[in-house]
Amino acid sequence: MAVRLQAAPGKQRSLSRAARREELYGWLFASPWIVGFFLFTAGPMIASFYLGFTEYSIANPPKWVGTANYQKALFGGDAQFWPSLGRTFMYAGMIVPIGLAGSLLIAVLLNQKLRAVALFRTLFFLPSLVPVVASAVLWQWLFQPDFGAINGLLASVGVKGPLWLSDSRSAPASLMIIALWGTIGGSTMIIFLAGLQGVPTELHEAASIDGAGAAQRFFRITLPLLTPTIFFNVVIGLIAALKVFEVALVATKGGPNFSTWFFILHLYQTAFQNIEMGYASALAGVFFVIVVTLTAINVHFSRRWVYYEGEERQ
């Protein structure tokens, strides 16, 4: 499944004319991406690294303050730094496993011999097409405590529903429900489905002849063969969850009482509402380190549980 890179060209000192022309064309054609990378990714990252050590409010030029911004963040100078980080981790820690399990469950169901499988697949996929702003607005009304559909349904079975988005105890969970609705049946599920269809049926047939039940076949054959797909979805899903911002801004504005004030929301507020570009760049730096570290941890531990076909194990 890994992308194959072609062998590096030989180390000839003097390239032939044709090779030199090929070299030129290569650079020329790839240049849109290369220029874009330096202009919109590498350059800004360097600038961000520098700005993280300054105080900058746009009106005045950046003023070098050394590590003051990082000290402020880490050692209590910012009342919302650690809480927003904690909330974000809590959110990701809940939503990634639930989301993956949900996507996998639906993919497994859709991989069975179902009637109207195309219809079901479409129904599960539709919520992921709704723009996040739109789904935040829709769910705000569904979650409305007095007249909303959800508390209406709960009342019909005799349960008094919570205040959902309007209560700091239930708001984070409510946002998770909105996010899960929009992601479980989406691309993660489709990728799982493609992975499931790559599991050779002969293995299943051989195992069932040997007397393995459906559950045993799933956990002993399907799941191990699916680990590269699971790994991919864990990495992508974790990064996406850590970035949670839009749904919180639109549905709760980070409230009530900061209960949905996530890290990127804090970054946005610091940079674009309080115009503290220097300190916000330090926050972006922290976020970058977190994402890189967590991805590295993921990759490191993947060696223990991800199985690639044709790979030899010691």
Partner 1 sequence: MTVRAIDRTSSASPTASRARPSYLAGRVALHVITALLALIFTAPFFFSISTSLKSTTELHVFPPIIWPAEPRPYNYVRVFEVVPYGLFYMNTIIIAVTATIGNVICAAIAAYGFARFRWRGREICFLILLSTLVLPEEVVIIPKFLMFHIVPEFLFGYSWINTWWPLILPSWIGGGAFNVFLLRQFFMQLPRDLDEAATIDGAGPFRILWSILLPLTQPALATVAIFSFLAHWRDFIHPLIYLNSREKFPLSLGLRWFQQLPLEAAEPREHLLMAAALLMALPCIVLFFTMQRYFVRGIVMSGIKG
Q: CB nearer to partner 1: give 9 or 76.
A: 9
271 binds partner 1 (CB under 8 A): yes
Contact characters 168-197, partner 1, x per CB under 8 A: -------------x--xx-x--xx-xxxxx
Total number of residues that touch partner 1 (CB under 8 A): 117
Determine the Cα–Cα distance for residues 3 and 227; give it in Å rounded to an integer.
17
C-beta separation of 69 from 279 below 8 A:
yes
Q: Which of residues 246-265 bind partner 1 (CB under 8 A)?
A: 246, 249-250, 264
Q: CB nearer to partner 1: give 14 or 314.
A: 14
Considering only 96, 104, 225, 280, the residue that binds partner 1 (CB under 8 A) is 280
Token digits for 35?
A: 């220029």
Least separation in angstroms between residue 86's CB and partner 1 is 18
Helix 132-142 vs helix 149-156: crossing angle, to nearest 10? 40
Long-range Cβ pairs for the range 242-246 (8 Å, 24+): 242/88, 242/92, 242/287, 242/290, 242/291, 242/294, 244/88, 244/91, 244/92, 244/175, 244/179, 246/132, 246/133, 246/136
Determine the Cα–Cα distance for residues 294 and 290; give it in Å rounded to an integer.
6
Considering only 59, 147, 310, 314, the residue that binds partner 1 (CB under 8 A) is 147
C-beta separation of 183 from 99 below 8 A:
yes
Q: CB nearer to partner 1: give 170 or 265.
A: 265
33 binds partner 1 (CB under 8 A): yes
Contact characters 101-140, partner 1, x per CB under 8 A: -----x--xxxxxxx-xx-x-xxxxxx-xxxxxxx-xxxx
In the three-class reduction of DSSP (H, G, I as helix; E, B as strand; rest coil), residue 158 is classed as coil
Considering only 13, 32, 215, 311, the residue that binds partner 1 (CB under 8 A) is 32
Considering only 91, 164, 245, 262, the residue that binds partner 1 (CB under 8 A) is 245
165 binds partner 1 (CB under 8 A): no
96 binds partner 1 (CB under 8 A): no
Least separation in angstroms between residue 68's CB and partner 1 is 17
Q: Which of residues 34-93 bind partner 1 (CB under 8 A)?
A: 34-37, 39-41, 43-45, 47-48, 51, 58
In the three-class reduction of DSSP (H, G, I as helix; E, B as strand; rest coil), residue 54 is classed as strand
Distance, C-alpha 138 to centroid of its chain: 22
166 binds partner 1 (CB under 8 A): no
Least separation in angstroms between residue 130's CB and partner 1 is 4
Least separation in angstroms between residue 67's CB and partner 1 is 18
236 CB burial (10 A radius; 0-12, 13-18, 19+): middle
Least separation in angstroms between residue 17's CB and partner 1 is 14
Which residue from 314, 278, 255 is spatially nearest to 87, judged by alpha carbons? 255
